[in-house]
Amino acid sequence: MKPTYYLKELKELSKRYARAQQVPLHKARDTVAEVLGFSHWNDVTKAHRAGWTPTKEHVSAVESLLVEALPGDEAGGPRSGSFIGDSTLETDVKHGTIDGHEYSISASMGDVHMHGTGWHLHVPEAPNREPRLEIAKQIKHEAPVYEAAFQQEALAIAINRAEQVRAGIASDWPRRSTKPDNDDLVRHPIHGAESNEWFCLHCDASITGAQIAKSFWHCPRCDASPLDVFESPWWLGEQDVQLEPIADNELNGRPELVVDVLDTRLKLELDAEKVTLLIRSALVDDASNVSERLGALFADIFVHDDNDVCITFDEDLWPEHKEPVSALAVAAQLGVNVDLELCLRELPIAWPGLGEHTKSTVEYTEMMLNAYASQRADKDVE
């Protein structure tokens, strides 16, 4: 197993922990860092850059942290957390074929993703949300993924996997989260509150215990996640808002497959950010010493709505008659016009001319530091 793989796992687990505990991601990462013996997540990444790598044991320790964060089931503690390990991470990518065409299938954060050549099928964790098949427009029109029979077979495979994922998650939940008692009381799978009426933070729906359990704690109307379903509509305060009960016939289960045919080829859309980046890079090409390079980096590049560019150089960093040949060539390739201007600004570092004598920033920095040091207060003013 590659060391970076474990770091990726730790990141995924932090995300899941943040979700379960309703804390910001950076806090969750710091908690994970503590389990690993660091004070902050920053220290983990620093150590990683310096060669430290998490072990499988580290990952297990963090998995246990997550298991503790989730509610225990009613028979005692939660199971060993093995399901979390399997479901949050894309460790279990499986491969198969439909009519001789290869696909891969994996689960990530409760969602199922199936990929084949030129298509991607996504079945979301929320049971009332539609599965979506995205087909790349640029693939051959005779591709089998356009055929309804192929699509249905792929969908059946993905739905089957989604059911397994769902069963796995439910097995980590208290029994009362998926099975209402005689008074329709159910327990929230994450923060443990109990009630027979639930409310959606997003659409203000009022949901019965049986309904929320059936829809796997996602809002049956707007598919909000379990974290946004509460036992009281506290966000409404004193407002007199009509809470809309959900009718049982709104819980129709998984909707039909939605097929999107999209041109997924990457297209370059020129905007001010991209134009600026390319022009500045070309200006750096044009710089022949440190001073000019600073001039290139410090130049003001203004991009108009039509992408035409105005470059304002600092007189002290860019020679007055020097033509930025590469920048003009790049502009010509992009089909935009360029205006050049010079101005005199206050620069962040004194003696800008020092950079004219070298191409090396290291050498320049030394000269610059010496120049600053040579005018200490204890020296005579010349």
Q: How far is CA 369 from the centre of its chain?
A: 42
200 binds Zn ion (CB under 5 A): yes
Calculate the alpha carbon distances from 272 to 75, 183, 305, 324, 336 in Å. Answer: 60, 61, 8, 19, 11
Q: Which of 221, 298, 303, 328 binds Zn ion (CB under 5 A)?
A: 221
CB 187 within 8 A of CB 148: no
Of the candidate spans 46-54, 170-178, 182-190, 212-220, the one that interacts with Zn ion by CB under 5 A turns out to be 212-220
The least CB distance from residue 127 to Zn ion, in Å, is 14
Of the candidate spans 34-42, 214-222, 331-339, 350-358, the one that interacts with Zn ion by CB under 5 A turns out to be 214-222
Q: Which of 224, 290, 311, 328 binds Zn ion (CB under 5 A)?
A: 224
251 binds Zn ion (CB under 5 A): no
Q: Which CB, 244 or 341, lies closer to Zn ion?
A: 244
229 binds Zn ion (CB under 5 A): no
The least CB distance from residue 233 to Zn ion, in Å, is 11
What type of residue sits at position 347?
L
Q: Which CB, 157 or 219, lies closer to Zn ion?
A: 219
219 binds Zn ion (CB under 5 A): yes
For residues 8 and 93, what is the distance between their CA atoms, to the nearest angstrom?
16
Total of residues contacting Zn ion (CB under 5 A): 8
Q: Which of 61, 222, 272, 347 binds Zn ion (CB under 5 A)?
A: 222
What type of residue sits at position 204?
D
Q: Which of 139, 203, 210, 338 binds Zn ion (CB under 5 A)?
A: 203
Q: Which CB, 235 or 372, lies closer to Zn ion?
A: 235
For residues 123 and 112, what is the distance between their CA atoms, to the nearest angstrom?
5
For residues 306 and 275, what is the distance between their CA atoms, to the nearest angstrom?
11
For residues 274 and 329, what is the distance between their CA atoms, to the nearest angstrom?
16
The least CB distance from residue 247 to Zn ion, in Å, is 14
Q: Which CB, 35 or 203, lies closer to Zn ion?
A: 203
What type of residue sits at position 278?
L
What type of residue sits at position 214?
K
Q: Which helix (DSSP H) or strand (DSSP E) does residue 374 occupy?
A: none
Helices 41-49 and 25-35, packing angle to 10 deg: 60
CB 128 within 8 A of CB 255: yes
The least CB distance from residue 294 to Zn ion, in Å, is 54
The least CB distance from residue 207 to Zn ion, in Å, is 8
What is the side-by-side strand order in the sheet with 244-245?
229-230, 197-200, 205-208, 244-245
Q: Which CB, 61 or 222, lies closer to Zn ion?
A: 222
244 binds Zn ion (CB under 5 A): no
| Residues in 139-168 at the binding interface with Zn ion, rule: CB under 5 A | none
What type of residue sits at position 146?
Y
176 binds Zn ion (CB under 5 A): no
Interface positions with Zn ion (CB under 5 A): 200, 202-203, 205, 219, 221-222, 224
